[in-house]
Amino acid sequence: MIGKTAITISLLLATSTFATELFVYQTDRGPVVLTHALAQAQDQTPALDLVDLTIRRAAHRYELDPSLIRAIIEVESAFNPQAVSSKGAMGLMQLMPATANAFAVDDPFDIEQNVYAGSRFFSELMRKYGDLRLALAAYNAGEPAVDASASVPNFPETRNYIEKVLALYQP
């Protein structure tokens, strides 16, 4: 018996680039239902974790490992969507105001907007640097610091950040 669980199935149609996610759920006494409506799956499955679902969807969209996004979020905000750093970074992925603006984030505390923008930004850093450690350094210390040193900047906070993320990341 599936019980109150939800399973995400990603389908990529062979004849197009259209991708969709379908949600499968089963109530305690009901039949298994397949729906494209996240809200319906959430209503029927209270245990559905919106953060985890958002991570998986953003990871798929931006070609990242969901485990990596989870590790970044854990280090950045300890999964607190209302987190604000002393430097003004906001939400799960700790977006700086300029980054939030650059990725058209209206509400940096909105789980979906924050995770999608942070994932997109990190994906761009991975493409730019081609190296996980450098991308993590740029995410933490900023691109100018990585570009100026042409390596991981010699900032204890950034070096500790990279080690924490890598310790949590289980590919």
Q: What is the pLDDT of residue 24?
A: 52
Q: Report residue 82 as tokens.
A: 């209302």
User: Of residues 21, 63, 74, 76, which has the active-site annotation?
Assistant: 76
CA–CA dist 95, 140 (Å, integer): 10
Q: What is the pLDDT of residue 5?
A: 42
Beta-strand ranges (E) seen in the chain are: 6-12, 19-26, 32-35
**What letter represents residue 102's amino acid?**
A
Q: Report residue 158 as tokens.
A: 């950034």
- Tell me: the pLDDT tens digits for 103-141? 999 999 999 999 999 999 999 999 999 999 999 999 999
Comparing CA positions, the residue from 144, 117, 104, 105 lying closest to residue 128 is 144
Q: What is the pLDDT of residue 144?
A: 98
Q: What CATH code is assigned to 51-168?
A: 1.10.530.10
First CA to last CA distance, the chain: 30
Task: Indicate the average pLDDT of the chain.
Answer: 82
Is pTM beyond 0.85? Reply is no
Q: How far is CA 144 from CA 29, 31, 111, in A?
A: 57, 55, 27
CA–CA dist 118, 103 (Å, integer): 9
Question: Is 163 a residue of the active site?
Answer: no
CA–CA dist 57, 19 (Å, integer): 11
| pLDDT greater than 70 at residue 149 | yes
Domain extents for the chain? Answer: 6-48, 51-168
The pLDDT confidence band at residue 1, using thresholds 50, 70 and 90, is: very low
CA–CA dist 126, 133 (Å, integer): 9
- Tell me: the pLDDT tens digits for 61-95? 999 999 999 999 999 999 999 999 999 999 999 99
Q: Provide the 8-state DSSP code for 150.
A: T
